[in-house]
Amino acid sequence: MSSACEVNFDGLVGPTHNYGGLSAGNVASQCNSQLCSNPRQAAQQGLAKMKLLMDLGLPQGVIAPQERPDLASLRRLGFSGSDAQVIAQAAEQAMPLLVACSSASSMWTANAATVSPSADTLDGRVHFTAANLNCKFHRSIEHPTTSRLLAAMFADPTYFAHHPALPAEAQFGDEGAANHSRFCRDYGAPGVELFVYGRSALDARYSAPQRYPARQTLEASQAVARLHGLSDDALVFAQQSPLVIDQGVFHNDVIAVGNGELLLYHQDAFVHSSKVLDELRDKLAARGGELQAICVPREAISVADAVRSYLFNSQLLSLPDGDGLLLVPQECQEQEKVWRYVQHLADAGGPINRVQAVDLKQSMQNGGGPACLRLRVALKSDELAAVNPGVLLTPLLYQQLSAWVAKHYRDRLCEEDLADPQLLIECRTALDELTQILKLGAVYPFQLAE
């Protein structure tokens, strides 16, 4: 049995989950803008997915949400006075800014950081680089708290190394693990890390999308690889097709997903697909692995179908009994063509022999599926033992978190509700209790009043 495992650390949906339509290039986010949300249901759906993986025998962790609305950002933008006055001014003078500063987008922890396991890094530690997410204002304000959360979860410097976000410049746009995959024979064995970028910031010879922004740059991916001490023979840099970015594929995890030795990808996912696959295959073979690549042809599933269903934003999971599970959003089941295709995959005798759908509608309406909600961290047994145990899901913790959500979360939130100063108090009270449940210490900047 392997002495290493992959842990999925899912983001807890925050109390201010709302549909602000803040993400240009994300079709679902734009289409559902201004709808009223249900934060309680959103958090419950996320917890149900976490419990499902735990019940399947997979190690599962949680990442806490962030304080919202972000008063510090509003103050930097010129609003002043008491907390209630800041919120009132923002609501009256610049409601879109208040919406942005109230986003619960940190729930999508695939964008929290890029993680390289110790088997790949020069110093033999697990490396984390928080993503700067500087393409979108509402996400660019996340990384300071993300860094504190990750440092509280993975605190032992013997095993873990943390890097701050890259410079907050367009040339170094970094969206984290949503554009990163790792391939390996075994989670504890040396692997090959695939970094996918949308454009080069400094080399005009690379093509670029015309309609929507390419959020990840080649230069950012290269910088993260250097910070993590990755060797050239364990790296592949691949350009995402600008044509699919312009069709709403804003991250690689909307058009491809990998796990272990398996890559499931759409025919139109990459520029120069054959070259990417050859390099992956050769470098993985040098590390004792054998790449298995499943190409989904455009004739079977169009890019538009992939975006509507979020087929590729599924989780590829290696179960303890040896089965390969594709955990898909319920939207795949609701689209006959897509569901027929994944059933064919499961029946074909290949590496994916189980398919299961999960209801994540509250997240999906904002453009985030199963893969968006989790940050994957491959850990050896001693590294897992060094993780803050408070963030590892157990039946007891699941019960505590379910009760916490029921106690603190609203079941309806519309844009006008973001102007209610009581919402900030509710969020702070909830997070103050959550830090005690998860044993996180002082990770939030606020202090509750006496």
Among 67, 175, 261, 415, the active-site one is: 175
**Which residue in this structure is represented by tokens 């993300």?**
146
Summary mean pLDDT of the chain? 95
pLDDT at res. 1: 39
Q: Which pLDDT belongs to residue 49?
A: 98
Taking residues 108-131, report their average pLDDT.
98
CA 292: distance to chain centroid?
Answer: 24
Give the model's pLDDT for residue 81.
Answer: 97
Task: Point out the catalytic residue in the list 5, 135, 372, 427.
Answer: 372
Give the pLDDT confidence score for residue 124 in this predicted structure.
98
**Rounded average pLDDT over 406-429:** 97
Give residue limits of the domains in the chain: 4-68+103-438
The whole-angstrom separation of Cα 95 and Cα 417 is 11
Known catalytic membership, residue 372: yes
**Residue 28 scores a pLDDT above 60:** no
Residue 17's pLDDT band, with cuts at 50, 70 and 90, is very high
pLDDT in tens, 38-87: 999 999 999 999 999 999 999 999 999 999 999 999 999 999 999 999 99
Check residues 450 and 43 and name the one with the higher pLDDT: 43
- CATH number for the region 4-68+103-438 comes to 3.75.10.20
Pairing between β-strand 192-197 and β-strand 235-239 as defined by DSSP bridges: parallel
Which has the closest alpha carbon to 374: 389, 388, 358, 385?
Answer: 358
What is the torsional sign of CA 92, 96, 99, 101? negative
| Percent of the chain whose pLDDT exceeds 70 | 95
pLDDT for residue 27 is more than 60: no
Q: Is the entire prediction scored with pTM above 0.85? A: yes
In the predicted model, what is the mean pLDDT of residues 227-233? 97
């040339």: which residue's tokens? 171
Average pLDDT score over residue span 377-382? 98
Catalytic site residue from 17, 162, 228, 251: 251
Q: How far apart are CA 48 and CA 437, in angstroms?
A: 18
Neighbours of 219 (CB within 10 A): 20
CB 146 within 8 A of CB 106: yes
